[in-house]
């Protein structure tokens, strides 16, 4: 039977309005307090390590009270900006919410930033205190350290340890309505990764983040009994919202994965009976490959019968919404520790249609979403009860959307409006004005179209469009997504190059990094590697329209620079592999 859409997820909050908060939306602090009161003895955060921190909601809030009063004792105020940079851990979460309980602004920062980048953001962001892992704190120059209050997220001998902090009782945040912040106040500032020069700090309010947490549940219900597993970097907007805030908003349990090997992830998922997994397409693709390999190993007859059963289940799911073979498939899913999973959430990139179809045919529910840091970040979700392949879903309740300047196929730039949209970029009114107009419409820079039922289909980023000789637009992301299931390639990036510099016409170029497995299988032979990659390109080109076909392939030796969520930094790639091939000294040595 199809799930019923929850159009009013905020109704859960009605029982607490007037007692624990006023207005439409509670603050982050008020939301956590509601869960701490309602689900006091339920598990809140767990580090699976032998000596890892494990806290119930009541224990977590008590520790947050202690740390936040310690912050207030040291002069932290509503205008204080406090950075948190470290590996995923309950201690990271304690730091984040302690800053909120103190009424200040949390500034999550990438744990892999170069020290110079980190110091640049600390200066630009007017940060006065840093919670971080010992290695991160040690990486700061002595001059910068002297200006900051430093607190360590790990036990150590050099800095105060967060779990040992305790301030005076009289400075504890009041237990009910916020005395320090309001829903419309700045709560979190998120910086784009790899930001030297003038960084972009996205300013998000309490209302932005909390309205997103509840309104997103209009298309994906969350329950207190759910167990989330976080493996994506927690400083990233997607993980911060989809894991930390979503789980907290309904009193769910969040397990912090530390060792990011597939074997370890599966073991911990099984041990803690994880039923909500938030991950990027790359992980789901790897897991699916392992599952299908195991099925094939049982012989062609067994494999054929399994695929037939999957096809039957897919038919009934798509036509009638009946998941008729979910129970029989449990043994198969148990091999991936997926037998307890209720929802798989994929974000941070496009999920191949074939991956989602295969998992759904095995009885799993997949949720593909869309959003940007500037939109808190979730704006669209593909609903469980009416999933459509290839789409990032429907607009979540509480927002408006429009497609601006559509072409003959209906593809135009997506603009959004609503409670999720950021305040603006920190100390950068010019950049804010470029994307946010006076009426509150935010220009996402993404190009796509809507079908008759309001489902959004994305083509790519407007700034990445390649314009061919015939004036046709090619979206690099569309082609890159077609390479996802080829394990022979570690990285692919589609970039333009000049086919005629004078006329500024562009061709489609592939930058391809062979995987270690391909090099090993072919014994590092250059000709054999080039042949296999060219075969893959030919396969891809056979499925592309003529103007989208790859006309130049460059096999690269070194990995392209990526963000902490493994997205290729396209601008960095374009700097290294220039559009004008006559200026590119690295081309011949890389081919």
Report the share of the chain in percent with pLDDT over 90: 64
- DSSP 8-state assignment for residue 229: E
pLDDT of residue 175: 63
User: How high does pLDDT run on average in the chain?
Assistant: 89
Query: Between 536 and 463, whose confidence is greater?
Result: 536
Q: What angle do CA 175, 246, 179 make, to 5 degrees?
A: 25
Which CATH number describes the domain made up of 465-590?
3.30.300.30
Reduce the DSSP state of residue 492 to 3 states and report it: strand
Residue 578 has pLDDT above 90, yes or no: no
Q: How far apart are CA 370 and CA 220, in angstroms?
A: 13
pLDDT of residue 542: 94
Which CATH number describes the domain made up of 28-181+222-277?
3.40.50.12780
Residue 3 has pLDDT above 80, yes or no: no
Q: How far apart are CA 366 and CA 409, in angstroms?
A: 28
Which region among 34-38, 40-44, 115-119, 280-284 has the lowest average model confidence (pLDDT)? 280-284
* pTM for this entry: 0.85
Which region among 388-397, 436-445, 558-567 has the lowest average model confidence (pLDDT)? 558-567
Are residues 107 and 82 in contact, defined by beta-carbon separation less than 8 angstroms? yes
Q: How far apart are CA 72 and CA 89, in angstroms?
A: 23
pLDDT tens digits, one per residue of 449-460:
999 999 999 988
Question: Measuring CA to CA, which residue among 478, 492, 479 is closest to residue 555?
Answer: 492
Q: Output phi, psi for 206, to 5 deg.
A: -55, -45
Q: Where in the chain is the domain with CATH 3.30.300.30?
A: 465-590
DSSP for 58-79, please give it. HHHHHHHHHHHHHHHHTT--TT
- The sign one gets for the Cα dihedral 184, 14, 36, 242 is negative
Retrieve residue 400's tokens: 């408006």
pLDDT of residue 95: 98
Query: Between 271 and 503, whose confidence is greater?
Result: 271
pLDDT tens digits, one per residue of 353-388:
888 889 889 888 888 889 999 999 999 999 887 889
Q: How far apart are CA 415 and CA 400, in angstroms?
A: 8
Most confident of 343-347, 418-422, 568-572: 418-422
Confidence of residue 164 (pLDDT cuts 50, 70, 90): very high
Q: Where in the chain is the domain with CATH 3.40.50.12780?
A: 28-181+222-277
pLDDT of residue 196: 44
Are residues 202 and 374 in contact, defined by beta-carbon separation less than 8 angstroms? yes
Which region among 26-40, 59-73, 343-357 has the lowest average model confidence (pLDDT)? 343-357
Confidence of residue 179 (pLDDT cuts 50, 70, 90): low
Question: Measuring CA to CA, which residue among 78, 67, 94, 79 is closest to residue 181?
Answer: 78
């Amino acid at each position: 039977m199809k799930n019923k859409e929850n159009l009013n997820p905020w109704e859960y909050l009605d029982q607490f309005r007037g007692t624990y908060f006023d207005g439409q939306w509670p603050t982050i602090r008020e939301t956590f307090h509601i869960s701490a009161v309602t689900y006091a003895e339920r598990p809140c955060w767990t580090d699976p390590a032998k000596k890892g921190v494990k806290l119930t909601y009541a224990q977590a809030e008590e520790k947050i009270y202690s740390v936040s009063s310690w912050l207030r004792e040291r002069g932290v105020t509503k205008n204080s900006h406090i950075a948190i940079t470290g590996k995923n851990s309950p201690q990271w979460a304690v730091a984040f919410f302690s800053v909120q309980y103190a009424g200040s602004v949390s500034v999550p920062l990438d744990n892999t930033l170069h020290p110079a980048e980190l110091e640049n953001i600390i200066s630009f962001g007017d940060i006065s205190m840093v919670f971080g892992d010992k290695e991160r704190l040690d990486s700061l120059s002595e001059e910068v350290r002297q200006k900051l209050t430093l607190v360590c997220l790990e036990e150590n001998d050099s800095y105060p340890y967060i779990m040992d902090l305790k301030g005076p009782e009289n400075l504890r945040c009041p237990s009910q309505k916020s005395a320090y912040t309001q829903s419309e106040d700045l709560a979190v500032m998120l910086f784009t990764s790899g930001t030297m020069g003038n960084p972009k700090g996205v300013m998000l309010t309490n209302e932005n983040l909390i309205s997103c947490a509840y309104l997103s549940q209009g298309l994906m219900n969350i329950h207190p009994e759910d167990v989330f597993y976080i493996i994506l970097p927690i400083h990233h907007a997607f993980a911060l919202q989809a894991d930390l805030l979503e789980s907290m908003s309904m009193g769910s349990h969040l397990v912090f994965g530390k060792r990011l090997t597939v074997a370890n992830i599966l073991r911990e998922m099984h041990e803690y009976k994880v039923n909500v997994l938030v991950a990027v397409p790359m992980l789901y693709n790897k897991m699916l490959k392992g599952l299908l390999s195991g099925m094939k190993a049982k012989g062609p007859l067994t494999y054929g019968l399994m695929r037939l059963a999957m096809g039957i289940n897919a038919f009934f799911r798509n036509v009638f919404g009946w998941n008729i073979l979910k129970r029989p498939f449990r043994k198969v899913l148990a091999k991936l520790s997926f037998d307890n999973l209720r929802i798989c959430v994929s974000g941070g990139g496009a999920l191949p249609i074939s991956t989602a179809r295969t998992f759904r045919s095995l009885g799993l529910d997949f949720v593909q979403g869309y959003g940007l840091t500037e939109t808190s970040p979730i704006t669209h979700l593909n609903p469980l009860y009416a999933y459509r392949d290839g789409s990032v879903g429907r607009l979540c309740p509480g927002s408006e959307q429009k497609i601006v300047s559509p072409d003959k196929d209906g593809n135009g730039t997506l603009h959004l409006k609503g409670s999720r949209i950021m305040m603006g970029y920190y100390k950068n009114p010019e950049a804010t004005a470029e994307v946010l107009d006076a009426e509150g419409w935010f220009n996402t820079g993404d190009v796509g179209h809507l079908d008759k039922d309001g489902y959004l289909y994305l083509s790519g980023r407007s700034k990445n469009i390649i314009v061919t000789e015939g004036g046709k637009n090619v979206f690099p992301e569309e082609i890159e997504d077609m390479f996802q299931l080829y394990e022979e390639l570690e990285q692919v990036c589609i970039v333009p190059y000049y086919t005629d510099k004078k006329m500024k016409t562009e061709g489609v170029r592939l930058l391809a990094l062979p995987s270690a497995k391909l090099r090993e299988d072919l014994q590092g032979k250059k000709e054999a590697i080039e042949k296999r990659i060219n075969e893959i390109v030919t396969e891809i080109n056979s499925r592309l329209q003529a103007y989208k076909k790859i006309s130049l392939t460059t096999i690269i030796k070194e990995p392209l620079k990526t963000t902490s969520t493994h997205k290729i930094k396209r601008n960095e790639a374009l700097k290294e592999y220039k559009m004008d091939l006559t200026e590119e000294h690295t081309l011949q040595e890389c081919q």
